Structure 1
Amino acid sequence: MEETPLMHPPHWATAIRAQRQHLGLSQTQVAQASRLLNQTEVSRLERGLIHPTLDLGAAKLRALLRVLGWSLREFTQKTGLELAFEESPQALGLEAEVHFATFPVQATVLAGHQNTPTGEGLVSIPIEDLKALGVRPENVRVFAVNGDCMVSESVRAMSQSIAPGDRVAVDTGRMPQAGEVVVAWDGLNEVLLIKRYREEGEHIVFYPARRSVPPVVRHRDDPVKIIGPVVWRGGPFRG
């Protein structure tokens, strides 16, 4: 039986959606970062079709709050909901605070041949997530994506796509491994680009996700500089 969307979602559903959008995350990114939820559950939460404290269970709620950057107190303040679990908040681990590092968007990186201006601003990333990736906050640089060549033509791979308007964070503290997505300075065209990186003989090759777009091939002696591998992505046009 199909669920009928609510004409006016409850306040708690609107609050969850507003917090996700404030962080610049898509529903898919929230689900992936939680490691327990899926995109459908996030969508149903934001439409008021499932209840966060009655339907999710303790583990999924804890994961949701971690991704949204809410302590239990902030969750109850923003949504007006109280816990419906038998366990104490301390036993559930819901009182742990989430701390964020905030970075300016430094420049626009080219993903294709579009020339649409991309806005700047600030991006906040959970410090816990950076630590899990082995990334030091002082090595993070954030860029805005312009173009769609990193959007996969495979529907199954859409969650791995980097879309126009996304923000990406790179780790300048290490060199990328073959196959990783990187931001690089292409001195021949004097642009920052975002592509999948690989070294092939005397050449450095930058591959797009879209097969219809040709790769960028540069000789090792060309003025090319790898800024760093992409370790995080988010954006207002997702979800």
Structure 2
Amino acid sequence: MWVQNPDLIARLLKALQWTPEEFTRETGIELPTMPAKLKASMTYMELIPLVGVVSAARGDSMAEPMGYVEVDSSVVSRHSGYTLFALEVDGDSMYCEDLPFAIPPGAIVVVAKEKQPSPGDIVVAWHREKEVGYLKQWFPKDGYQVLRSWNPDVPPMVVQGQDEVEIQGVVVQIVIDPSKVSVKPRGR
């Protein structure tokens, strides 16, 4: 019978995005105990709010509810003490063809709101005077902050004092949907 095939059960639960407990509750069918290794390999998705667009240098920034994005539940559980939200990236300051990692325009970043950044973390910084949110790499200095881009064509921002810029949160995951990402070659 199909309920005795753990691999088939795991694929069904993944497709439904249900835990074994949710499956039993919704269907009334008791599932056999799944092997721990198989259960650990299953991923579940959770929805978090997509609250706007963040500028990566030459991009736009806006705060406006845009719906929800699916995030692996392990990301949510790892950061359970924080409020998570997502932003779409506009601009190319965190994209560089010469790096093995990048955050291209069109990517979605998942941000932990209350998390305190460590030097080198990617943060969402709100510039009060300019009323714009930036996606940058954060480096605190004695009396000022440096917000750096990965794109060498974009100069770093040096922020004097804490009142100009407020760190909104730390990026904890980058979600790239190839169908939404548009990367323009440099120099064109």
Distance (Å, rounded) in 2 between the aligned partners of 1:76 and 1:127 = 14
Match of 2:10 in 1: 71
Among 160, 182, 185, the residue aligned to 2:123: 182
Among 65, 81, 88, the residue aligned to 1:144: 88
More helix per residue: 1
Distance (Å, rounded) in 1 between the aligned partners of 2:152 and 2:54 = 19
Q: What per-residue deviation string (whole Å, max 9, x for no partner) do you get for residues 85-123 of structure 1?
A: xxxx94473356533321121011000113499x93321
More strand per residue: 2
Instruction: Give the % identical residues.
Output: 24
Q: Give ranges in structure 2 of 5+ residues lacking alignment.
A: 1-6, 17-32, 182-188
Would you say the 8 A contact 2:85–2:110 is kept in 1? yes
Distance (Å, rounded) in 1 between the aligned partners of 2:90 and 2:36 = 42
CA shift in 2, pair 1:151/1:233, >3 Å = same
CA shift in 2, pair 1:135/1:186, >3 Å = same
Give TM-score scaled by structure 2 length.
0.70
How many residues of Structure 1 are paired with residues of Structure 2 in the alignment?
A: 155
User: What are the residue-to-residue correspondences of 1:128-207 with 2, within 5 Å?
Assistant: 128-131=74-77, 134-136=78-80, 139-155=83-99, 157=100, 160-207=101-148
CA shift in 2, pair 1:212/1:76, >3 Å = closer
Q: What is the deviation of 1:203?
A: 1.1
Would you say the 8 A contact 2:55–2:135 is kept in 1? yes
Match of 1:122 in 2: 68
| 2:49 matches 1:104 | yes
Would you say the 8 A contact 1:168–1:231 is kept in 2? yes
Instruction: Supply the RMSD in Å over aligned alpha carbons.
Output: 3.1
Distance (Å, rounded) in 2 between the aligned partners of 1:116 and 1:184 = 11
